[in-house]
Amino acid sequence: MILHHIQTSPNNDSALKLCLRYARKEDTILLAGNGVTALLQRQWAMALSPFKLMLLQQDVQARGLGELLKDFTQIDYADFVDLSLSHTKVISW
Amino acid sequence: MKKLCIVFRRAPHGTAHGREGLDLALLSASFEQEVSLIFMDEGVLNLLKQQQPELIGAKDYIATFKALPLYDVETVLVCKQSLAELGLSAGLLSIPVTVFNHEQIAGHLAQADEVLVF
Amino acid sequence: MSKFIVQVNSPAYGSAASMNAYRFTKAAQAQGHSVIRVFFYQDGVFNSNALNCPASDEFDLTRAWTELANDTGLELVNCVSAALRRGILSEQDARENAREHWNLASPFVMGGLGELVTGIEQADRVVSF
């Protein structure tokens, strides 16, 4: 059970593409930084939908996306620390 | 001793990721960790033959991939889909590799203790 | 209580990743976990540049790392090879390389990749930014 940590937009970097290629059903995907913008695009939102998905709340709110992304689970850094321990490892793509 | 998996996902020479990933892989192996490498996406281009990085002022770290067996790094995996996307085959690569599909790579990532991506 | 290694690969300014590493480190410590060290590799070594001079109304990440280290005893370790290649030098590096100036912020120290690897070996988890 891996925590996949995505920090970049899929329009700039292949991190999300690769994470989705190798992630397993039981894994969790954490979108941080510009990674949160993936959810604005239908094809990435669809591709992410089978996975347990988390967003860093501060990164969402900082970008003015709080309302647009309100249906997704948003966490703080304390939760991130907990998730990193409740998963077997963190892969920062 | 931990199972450390180093992932190369970026093309060589344009950035220092590949060179610094390899430095960490070799150092980890010399510190008695069980090191495996995965080449995926444009990272597979690190393994093409006949590279001449000195032509663009880059360090020829590529030659050092040939030294992996000296460091007891025996698991060198290449993503099948990434090769196909770039129109490549394993025969074009400079060192012996094992070609894995995405499910096999997912399995390898799952069994490693830690995975570091470059 | 768990043990972490935090690895920072991105510069102090121009990328949000280092700031996220700082927030993660603080959160882990606040929960009583041990951060064995923060290891700066690749462009992460730019976090240790004492000459980083953000405007007075902007967040000074180098200073923030420094204060966190001074307050908590957190170890801040650069990969020395990555640092020298990028013009980050300690006083000793400057002497050894015949340079007149150095710029490593205290209490950052230079170390080898071995400190990352031994840290990973001791830690329950490594988290990279």
Domain containing residue B42: CATH number? 3.40.1260.10
Question: Is C79 a known active-site residue?
Answer: yes
**Rg (alpha carbons) of chain B, rounded to whole number:** 13
Contacts of residue A30, Cβ cutoff 8 Å, sequence gap at least 6: A3, A4, A5, A6, A54, A55, A56, A75, A80, A83
Domain count, chain B: 1
pTM for the model: 0.97
Interface test with A, best of B104, B117, B118 (most A CBs within 10 A): B117
pLDDT score, position B43: 98
Query: Do A59 and C16 count as a contact with CB atoms less than 8 A apart?
Result: yes
CATH code (residue A58): 3.40.1260.10
Query: Do C27 and A92 count as a contact with CB atoms less than 8 A apart?
Result: no
Mean pLDDT of C20-24: 98
Residue A25 near chain B (CB below 8 Å): no
pLDDT score, position C21: 98
Query: Do C24 and A59 count as a contact with CB atoms less than 8 A apart?
Result: no
- Chain C positions touching B17 (Cβ under 8 A) are 42
Residue A91 near chain B (CB below 8 Å): yes
Name the band, by pLDDT with cuts 50, 70 and 90, for residue C128: very high
pLDDT score, position A70: 97
- Chain C positions touching B116 (Cβ under 8 A) are 7, 126, 128
pLDDT digits (tens, 9 = 90+) for B17-39: 999 999 999 999 999 999 999 99
| Tokens read off for A18 | 């690769």
pLDDT digits (tens, 9 = 90+) for C56-114: 999 999 999 999 999 999 999 999 999 999 999 999 999 999 999 999 999 999 999 99
- Angle CA(C77)–CA(A56)–CA(C56) in degrees, nearest 5? 60
pLDDT score, position B52: 97
Nearest residue, CB atoms, B9 vs list A18, A23, A24: A18
Name the band, by pLDDT with cuts 50, 70 and 90, for residue A59: very high
Q: What is the ipTM of this complex?
A: 0.96
Domain count, chain A: 1
Q: Domain range for residue A30?
A: 2-92
